[in-house]
Amino acid sequence: MIICSCLEASTIFYNIVVALSILAGAGWTLFIFTKRHEEVGIDLKIDRIDLITFDKGKEKYLDINVTIKNIGKRDVNLELKNASVKVSKAEKDGLLVDIIDQKTGVTSTEPRYNGRLRSNVETKLPYWLKIHNDGLHFIEFSIPIDLGMFDKSIFKKDGIINWTDKRFYFVKE
């Protein structure tokens, strides 16, 4: 009887240890997943496109404003010298024709902006692109963002990921 009660007690103890191990592993996994999810977060959008004309409509420019907001908990490094916005003419059959205008690099509206975007901070990047004719235009903004400083096992070797936003804009005659 004493041997049976010891075996039962050891089985109960073993089951309790296994259950606690499973709960601890699940809790750790949840903690790591939510921690990584909250560390990295970018909200990127082309939030304004306006048509600006000069010389009675002979010269036309698209005034494009891009907003980048860091919605994560850690700072993010923006590769500003490689940021680009381009405008392509869209034909009726849906194909994009040659790039009309393209700008690389940015001029920030924030003083002393160096490419480091702090947590819960946004920056607006203005662009002017010249267009030559009316009709449907395709606008694409792209910026490489370095996420390798967080975890190289998740974000490849170099950690550079291109974030983009794309819009169509119709220019009337």
- Encode pLDDT of 95-109 as tens digits: 777 777 777 665 554
Q: How much is the mean pLDDT over the chain?
A: 77
Give the helix ranges, DSSP H, for the chain: 2-39
What is the 8-class DSSP label of residue 91?
Answer: P
Per-range mean pLDDT, top range of 39-48, 58-67, 73-82? 58-67
pTM above 0.85, yes or no: no
Distance CA 165, CA 160 (A): 17
Residue 78 has pLDDT above 90, yes or no: no
Give CA separation, 144 vs 42, 67, 148, 162, 164, in Å: 12, 14, 12, 4, 9
Q: What is the pLDDT of residue 22?
A: 94
148-162: burial string, b at 16+ Cβ within 10 Å, e else: bebeeeebeeebeee
Q: What is the pLDDT of residue 150?
A: 57
> Within 13 Å, how many C-alpha atoms sit on residue 146's CB side?
13
Q: What is the pLDDT of residue 60?
A: 87
Q: What is the pLDDT of residue 111?
A: 42
- Encode pLDDT of 115-158 as tens digits: 677 778 888 888 888 888 888 888 888 887 766 655 555 555 56
What ranges do the domains of the chain cover? 1-39, 41-171
Best CATH choice for the domain 41-171 from the list 3.40.47.10, 3.90.1260.10, 2.60.40.10, 2.40.40.20: 2.60.40.10
Q: Is the model more confident about 16 or about 146? A: 16
Q: What is the pLDDT of residue 173?
A: 66
